[in-house]
Structure 1
Amino acid sequence: MNVLLIALLALPLLGAALTLAPLGERAALRLGVGVTGAVLAGTIALAAWFDHSAPGRMQAVTDASWIPAIGVRFHLGVDGISLPLLVLTALLTFLCAVYSTRKLPAGPGARAFTGLVLLLEVGMLATFVVLDLVLFFLAFEIVLIPMYFLIARWGSGAKVPAANRFILYTLLGSAVMLLGFLLIGSQAGTFDLTQLATAHGSGLTHATQVTAALAIMLGLAVKAPAFPLHSWLPDAHTAAPTVGSVLLAGVLLKMGTYGLVRVLLPVVPDGTATLAPYLGALAAVGIVYGSLACLALARPGAKGDLKRLIAYSSVGHMGFVLLGIASLTPSGVNGALFANIGHGLITGLLFFLVGAVKDRYGTADLDTLAGATGAALYGRAPRIGGLLAFAAVASLGLPGLAGFWGELLAMYGAFDPAAGLSRPAFLTYLVLAGLGTLLTAGYLLVVVKRVCMGDPRQTGPELTDLQAYEAVSWTPLAALTVVAGLWPALLLGLSDPAVKHLLGGG
């Protein structure tokens, strides 16, 4: 299996290199579909061969010396925490490649677009499988340049300022995170994550742990994104092309929260426990803030952009992820990891749908879409309208769909946080999170009313309903949203032993 894991990183890197050859537009797009499809097949094979009886153990391990002078190793592996994220990344990238064969955004051309998407996939996959802090930093950084150009060259509106803001925020966060990594490596004598996790903070003083945890937490919180370090996100989503928004919301945001679980919890546990109440407070405020921002954008007359609204909704939804992690309990962290996957599926589908609505109406402005009576998608494009309503109710956490279990477990973790944490404080965060769920239902139902309902006889452009390439791109996300909601043990059975291993340091 270790050869397969290496191949998953090598394939998109090779594909990106092939786009430098003088390929035609269609050939470049087909290359993207072929390579991302092969990567998806490889991740499915890896999941099939994975030893599900021992998800807490690293599998498909490759461990070789890379830079002996500073002790950096080429160390890869996958466990029950990283495996679902690996499959999600491969799936979303493949669906984006399929979608782009028919809906390539206006820009420099297909070869450059495909090469950047494949390079982006290398960084995203590598982030979830590397087991060395220096390698984690490098993988974390690889995604920045491709995403910058996808926004700046293939985006719309104020795309260059949005791309500049994206890269400046994330580069600054990464620099702070690197300082924390270097502090840990210099004090512990190794950058190897498995060794550091086994030590579980022994050999690091409390002051060192707090300092390192603060630096790493700040760096990862930018990518998460945590309130108030989120302000780059709405602009980036509003300007990004559809596939850029799907990958940004579906995968890149997960890299920050994955890092919190993979690095902070096992490596600097005392420092993390000291800072957890503050992380929980920011998470709770972010949940309410994101929901209130969405309500403001959804009201008539606000000129709210639908893509911007969903971007702000991500601030709220990722707040639940951060709250679960801050609880430092198995239930809370499992809920955070489940919410990561649920958010990737649901928000990826939402951005695909909003992209389709924008293509058909020529705008994502809610007031322009809704007009006096509503955009009437139910009557004018019923399949797209039905899918949008389905994604909205999944996003608001309807039981039986993927959005429910993660938020429930994260709130349960806040109800009974780990020993040493203030229960009254976390109960306050729980109340705020509960208020956030009500506000979330409010703005999503307003969006459904304004976009899906209305008089289909109103004047406006003729609308085509769901196309074949759209059905192929979106159906897996809708199906997996139902599967994850009805069969939560599929993910929780993988993550729970791995989470207990990280929290216990055993």
Structure 2
Amino acid sequence: MLTALWLAPLVVAAVLAAVPAARREAVLAAWVVLALAEVVGSVLVWTAVPRGGGFGDEVAVPWIPAFGVGYHLGADGFSAPLVAMTTVVFLAAALYSLSRPVGEDPARTRAFVLLFLVLEAVCVGVFLALDLVLFFVFFDLSIVLMYFVIAGWGTGSRERSALQFFLYTFLGSLVMLLGFLVLAVGGRDTGGITFDIPTLAARDPLAGHGVAGILALVAIGVGLAIKTPVWPLHTWLPPAHTDAPAAGSAVLAGVLLKMGTYGFVRIAMPLLPGPWRAAAIVAVVLGVVSVLWGSLVALAQRDLKRLVAYTSITHLGYVVLAVGAAGVVAAGPAARTLAVTGATVQMVSHGLVTAALFLLAGVLRDRGHTSEIAAWTGLAGPMPRFSWTFALAAFASLGLPGLSGFIGEFSLLAGSLPAYPVATVLAALGLAITAALFLRALQSMLLGDRHLPPAAERSPTPRARLGRSPSSPDLRVAETAAVGLLLACSLVIGVAPALLTSTIAPAAAQVVSLVSR
């Protein structure tokens, strides 16, 4: 089942590559059907995860046995929810793409679909991989594929933004690979060279190696921090999001950024427990700075896509704060487990909500060729569906109770408080700043005055064009379905969080136990 989950998009991509490009509708429909099947498959994988912890399904086959590399997949309380979130985000991207052709050339539409199918395969593979080399292969392929998404279908300075994204994240992944090598080679005295993650976690391969453990953690941490991204390694993120196509931004923020934070709980914490405890304060400081920096800079943004991009730094800064706090043994296992559980819920919530926000920003660009906040006002009248969904997504992002953002942020802050109370209180200020920036955007864009002066009626601004549009500028059916799917999942998590936390908590407790060694 696990192999089929990541391999199925590749099979469909191979079939669609032989379909005539002129059959654009058939290609898009096949993408939606595959994406829906992936969601069903991810739910089946999730239901197989034992509620007491451990892996519900595993595939382990030797791949390069001479070097200790294996094809090892598994789904547990960390990976199953993130795989499900990944498939939902890709389904939303497929539905959203139904409402617009990707360029005039049907061949470009087919190429776009094929690229996203392969991208979904490697993203699912990252979260299922239980071998460091296999994880690295999927991790690196996601970088290459996203480069082509931005460079090929983006806007503005898309080539420059794509290259900046690629150089930052690819170089970071190479540094991370060095850390993997230190882990594998350093543990050869305890049973031979292996890249198997559960085996390395059981061995604690660099225990007592001092400098080697710190160097491995630094190398792995830098690669993961760039992908997250953590301040000050975040500078590639705003231009990449601003210039990427809407579906690309949704996948980049919703899925690819989680590969960094997931790497902390899957690799850095359980495989390097001693160095992680020693470096916990560094993670906490970087997390708090990311929270405050991201929210304050977002407050100054005039473009909606850049605003949402900077809030991603804030939301994932909370995750880094929580996993850092989980390294403080004195805080107690209950609080540390709550911090890791909240961090994982925050990953899922951010993936759903931020993907919805980027799709909605893409609607504005489609209607008026700009996502500048000042260019839009009074949208509640002509675009009620857009207004309601945008308001709901904004409230979920700022952590309103009843939505997924509140569950993640409340849990991780409560779990982090016993370890670092001052840092946690400082990070909580980011919630107020995030609320302020989203409420200001809502007031400006949805509730502004739609009665424009005569000069504006003659201008080519989006507001004037919107008012003269003969057809409804509101969300189309496919767009409503895409955004509605993401927000419905956020609402379900907010109302019934146990559906998610009951799966995550046992895995979080196991990681906390490993870090305590």
Q: Same fold (TM over 0.5)?
A: yes
C-alpha spacing 1:271/1:53, structure 2 compared with 1 (3 Å): same
Q: Identity of counterpart residues, as a percentage?
A: 39
Which residues of structure 2 form unaligned runs of 5+? Answer: 188-192, 327-335, 458-463
User: Deviation at 1:486?
Assistant: 1.4
Q: 2:403 aligns with which of 383, 401, 404?
A: 401
Residue 264 (str. 1) matches residue 262 (str. 2): no
> 1:400 is aligned with what amino acid?
G
> 1:109 is aligned with what amino acid?
R
In the other structure, the counterpart of 2:131 is 132
User: Deviation at 1:347?
Assistant: 0.6
Distance 2:205 2:51 in 1: 28
Q: Residue 396 of structure 2 contacts residue 405 of structure 2 at CA under 8 Å; is this kept in 1?
A: yes
Q: Residue 77 of structure 1 contacts residue 131 of structure 1 at CA under 8 Å; is this kept in 2?
A: yes
In the other structure, the counterpart of 2:284 is 280
> 2:395 is aligned with what amino acid?
V
In the other structure, the counterpart of 2:331 is none
State the secondary structure of the residue aligned to 2:338.
Answer: helix
Q: How does 1:79-118 map to 2 (within 5 A)?
A: 79-106=76-103, 109-118=108-117
Q: How does 1:337-356 map to 2 (within 5 A)?
A: 337-356=344-363
State the secondary structure of the residue aligned to 1:109.
Answer: helix
User: Deviation at 1:37?
Assistant: 2.1
Q: Residue 214 of structure 1 contacts residue 275 of structure 1 at CA under 8 Å; is this kept in 2?
A: no
Distance 2:86 2:101 in 1: 20
Q: 2:325 aligns with which of 320, 324, 327?
A: 327
Distance 1:20 1:479 in 2: 33
Q: Residue 295 of structure 2 contacts residue 311 of structure 2 at CA under 8 Å; is this kept in 1?
A: yes
In the other structure, the counterpart of 1:213 is 217
User: Deviation at 1:377?
Assistant: 1.2
Q: Residue 19 of structure 1 contacts residue 112 of structure 1 at CA under 8 Å; is this kept in 2?
A: no
Q: Residue 151 of structure 1 contacts residue 244 of structure 1 at CA under 8 Å; is this kept in 2?
A: yes
Residue 312 (str. 1) matches residue 316 (str. 2): no
Q: Residue 105 of structure 1 contacts residue 241 of structure 1 at CA under 8 Å; is this kept in 2?
A: no
In the other structure, the counterpart of 1:500 is 509
Residue 11 (str. 1) matches residue 8 (str. 2): yes
**What is the number of residues matched between the two proteins?**
482
Name the stretch that deviates more: 189-198 or 222-231. Answer: 189-198
Cα distance per residue 1:437-477 (max 9 Å; x no partner): 11111111111111111123435223522221112212121
State the secondary structure of the residue aligned to 1:228.
Answer: coil
TM-score by length of 2: 0.90
Distance 1:434 1:144 in 2: 32
In the other structure, the counterpart of 2:294 is 290
In the other structure, the counterpart of 1:420 is none
> 2:126 is aligned with what amino acid?
T
**What's the C-alpha RMSD, in Å, of the aligned pairs?**
1.5
Distance 1:41 1:390 in 2: 26
State the secondary structure of the residue aligned to 1:353.
Answer: helix
Distance 2:448 2:54 in 1: 53
In the other structure, the counterpart of 2:65 is 68
Residue 379 (str. 1) matches residue 381 (str. 2): yes
Q: Residue 152 of structure 1 contacts residue 160 of structure 1 at CA under 8 Å; is this kept in 2?
A: yes
Name the stretch that deviates more: 20-29 or 219-228. Answer: 20-29
> 1:334 is aligned with what amino acid?
T
C-alpha spacing 1:200/1:416, structure 2 compared with 1 (3 Å): farther
State the secondary structure of the residue aligned to 1:63.
Answer: strand
Cα distance per residue 1:150-202 (max 9 Å; x no partner): 10010000100000000000011101100000000001122111111222456
Q: Residue 197 of structure 2 contacts residue 267 of structure 2 at CA under 8 Å; is this kept in 1?
A: yes
> 2:173 is aligned with what amino acid?
S
State the secondary structure of the residue aligned to 1:260.
Answer: helix
Q: 2:343 aligns with which of 336, 346, 364?
A: 336
> 2:324 is aligned with what amino acid?
A
User: Deviation at 1:34?
Assistant: 2.4
Q: 2:372 aligns with which of 365, 372, 379?
A: 365
> 1:156 is aligned with what amino acid?
T
In the other structure, the counterpart of 2:426 is 432
> 2:356 is aligned with what amino acid?
L
User: Deviation at 1:52?
Assistant: 4.0
In the other structure, the counterpart of 2:330 is none
Q: Residue 186 of structure 2 contacts residue 205 of structure 2 at CA under 8 Å; is this kept in 1?
A: no
Residue 441 (str. 1) matches residue 435 (str. 2): yes
Cα distance per residue 1:71-119 (max 9 Å; x no partner): 1011111001110101111111112112212224438611111111011
In the other structure, the counterpart of 2:460 is none
